A and B are shown apart, each in its own frame.
Chain A
């Protein structure tokens, strides 16, 4: 940075001073839970009686219990659809919002609203939209002469749920991309226009390469969010008593812990989730070195 305010005194001092509040929170809040989770993953614990050492039993379960495998498969499937979806849709929305549109601030607010609204409440609204007989979506479909679709039935549920999750995440992605887009100097586009580049060429040759850092960051965040997704999925696919037709890993962790008195198993699944996310992060950072352009 060559401009902006210069910190008074040594930079190192301010660095630590500003990091301290977060670090204290991490150290005493998150770190404690992380250590507890690691320890509990080697234990049998029902929350009500003292934990007992269980060795690797919980980890063996990870690979032998078909329910955990199903949950992991669902999480991976969900992520594979969700991450590209969020990145592409929120990038397109950001490009639109970056134009000089009438009432652009209204649209920006509208797109951001789901981010700050309770997921449980919005999921209930989505249930009304997706309903087969009473749903708004099928009402529209039937009005224009199409067959009603069972949006939350086995064969469609995953796509319907991904759609809601993408919808809920557009706002956050849009903010990230808007920040990246406004940082691209206008001269580049002006120069491209003089050279006769059309809109598409400008988008793919200038915009995309220059916001690769934002794309990278957004992909990273979406991946983490995808692996932690739970609220919308559960609210839209729950059945029976606390069951879900699309059980994901976070759901399985919740259920094993709170419903089945199996906090050890739940902890081991949390560790599994962390390891899988870590692997994806490692791949992302490797790709970053190859493809992300920093000015």
Chain B
């Protein structure tokens, strides 16, 4: 009897194994209802739009339900890391391009290349500059959803009052500096009441990567082993920023800026600031007229920064097919249109970006500048250890922008710390 049971068990096991082997590929997703989880950072306005996109996706694919979970930026990353480390990642989650390699290189993301190969032409309508960040030697592990280029925002009222001509596409950094000087107003008791220019100098994206590229310098070498921001050409850009702040005093130092809630442009005390499309919804609340212009030219030409936010799929996702179907939908016209209407970023799909959905938003500004800037935009660098590296530079240089330390030696020290980070992340 016992022996019979044993044989039965073995036979049934073998049958089960054969059954498994007899199914060559997993059944297509559309046959049975699945629920996938999608996690993102964002605010209530973004969640509303994403709920709409998810609902539309469900209508198009009735068998796939997407559960959206949204957190603020800080908690998002903490939550994500905990879930990844516990082996229970969300099926789909958002990724900031500069941080992408920190996750991709640690093997927690699904390689999307096999899916992309099965969908030839899927990325044809997408701006190629926004795909660059996600490429690795063995394929793409993520897809962009929207992008940001940095442009120069300016306060028209201040320009009009000072009788200074608006910035043009032909502006150089010298023009910028001169205009900033003319726009700075100092009261009789020596207090500055209006600044010509402002930008935060902690992260490279707002102004200093653009400046360094325009002066012919670079941020980091090709194999990500050496920080180049203290090389002579980059130093020219730093010197310009430093002199605008401490010689011309047309740019408030970081302490002063902090007193205006960190955004003197929005506070109506700075005439120009370089920033991305994410600032537009907030600036719509400002009680002055403003518009945008391309970033100025430097000795080495015009440059700006392009960065994208995208979606990745967890490697341990139980429903990778459904997850990819959703990523594909995000790049479709209806979804990209919703994102364009949200007004926080530029759609990565060219046909939508160049349509009225993006160009005719409620902000009375020239939206096309954001797209045209792609022509001379360079990718915000993507490398392993990005977060720690940018902190080494940002924290390291913070005392320059408060006026506590000298530019040269402090920059050298920050670069040394940044290079240590690169060595540790090899």
Contact = CB atoms under 8 A, between A and B. Distances in A.
Interface of A: 46-49, 67, 131-134, 150, 152-154, 239-243, 245, 255, 258-262
A92 to B, nearest CB: 33
Contact of A48 (B85, B387, B402): B85
Classify the secondary structure of B's interface with A.
Answer: helix
Interface stretch (B131-139, B165-173, B254-262): B254-262
A234 to B, nearest CB: 10
B259 A132 contact: yes
A131 B259 contact: yes
A134 B262 CA distance: 13
A47 B81 contact: yes
A242 B391 CA distance: 9
A262 B81 CA distance: 12
B390 A245 contact: no
B211 to A, nearest CB: 18
Given A258-B77, A258-B81, A260-B388, A243 B395 contact: yes
A48 B395 contact: no
Nearest to B106: A48
Classify the secondary structure of A's interface with B.
Answer: loop
A48 B394 contact: no
Give the contact-size bracket for chain B: 20 to 34
Nearest to B384: A261
Given A48-B81, A48-B106, A150 B259 contact: yes
Contacts of B200: 240
Contacts of A152: 258
Contacts of B202: 239-241, 243
Interface string B65-89: 0000000001001100100110000
A259 B85 contact: no
B107 A133 contact: no
Contacts of B85: 47-48
A258 B387 CA distance: 10
B41 interface: no
Contacts of B263: none
B203 interface: yes
B78 A241 contact: no
24 contacts: A46-B106, A47-B84, A47-B85, A48-B84, A67-B395, A152-B258, A153-B255, A153-B258, A239-B202, A240-B202, A240-B203, A240-B395, A240-B398, A241-B202, A241-B203, A242-B391, A243-B394, A259-B77, A259-B387, A259-B391, A260-B385, A260-B391, A261-B106, A261-B385
A128 to B, nearest CB: 11
B116 to A, nearest CB: 24
Contacts of A47: 81, 84-85
Interface string B285-317: 000000000000000000000000000000000
A245 B259 contact: no
B329 interface: no
B103 interface: yes
Contacts of B255: 150, 153-154
A67 B398 CA distance: 14
A193 to B, nearest CB: 54
B108 A48 contact: yes
B426 to A, nearest CB: 12
Nearest to B74: A242
A49 B106 contact: yes
Interface string B93-123: 0000000001100111000000000000000
